[in-house]
């Protein structure tokens, strides 16, 4: 059996797409099953970004269009940038609102910073 490059690319694309779907499923299960907010937030961001990267690689291998590579690269950059910022904002806001279980924290560096600040409202 002789495999040409298009067949290899199609098989790799299918493996990447299935792997991305698997990581998205793991992220969804983690959000539902984990007990506290910070664990759920971790489960929502880490496997989801890896799953998106695998899906984008699978799409790039499947489409084989140089014009779509720029758009797919932009999708990856925007997703990686926004998930980090969103995770930070949700974690900090939940900590300020008292929604974080402090008994589960190993290191708590934010308490000292927040106790020194004045309370402030929305702009």
pLDDT of residue 9: 92
pLDDT digits (tens, 9 = 90+) for 56-80: 999 999 998 888 999 999 999 999 8
72 touches 60 (CB < 8 A): yes
Distances 11 to 4, 7, 72, 120 between C-alpha atoms, Å? 11, 6, 19, 54
Kindly state the average pLDDT of the residues 37-60.
89
Confidence of residue 10 (pLDDT cuts 50, 70, 90): very high
Q: What is the longest distance spanned by two Cα atoms in the chain?
A: 71
Query: What pTM, to 2 d.p., does this model score?
Result: 0.76
pLDDT of residue 73: 92
């Amino acid at each position: 059996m002789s495999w040409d490059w298009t067949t290899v690319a199609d098989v790799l694309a299918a493996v990447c797409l299935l792997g991305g779907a698997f990581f998205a499923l793991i992220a969804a299960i983690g959000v539902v099953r984990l007990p506290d907010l910070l664990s759920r937030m971790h489960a929502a961001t880490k496997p989801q970004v890896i799953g998106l990267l695998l899906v984008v690689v699978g799409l790039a291998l499947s489409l084989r269009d140089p014009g779509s590579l720029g758009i797919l690269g932009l999708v990856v950059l925007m997703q990686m940038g926004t998930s980090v910022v969103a995770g930070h904002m949700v974690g900090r806001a939940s900590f300020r609102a008292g929604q974080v279980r402090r008994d589960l924290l190993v290191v708590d560096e934010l308490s000292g910073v927040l106790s020194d600040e004045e309370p402030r409202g929305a702009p």
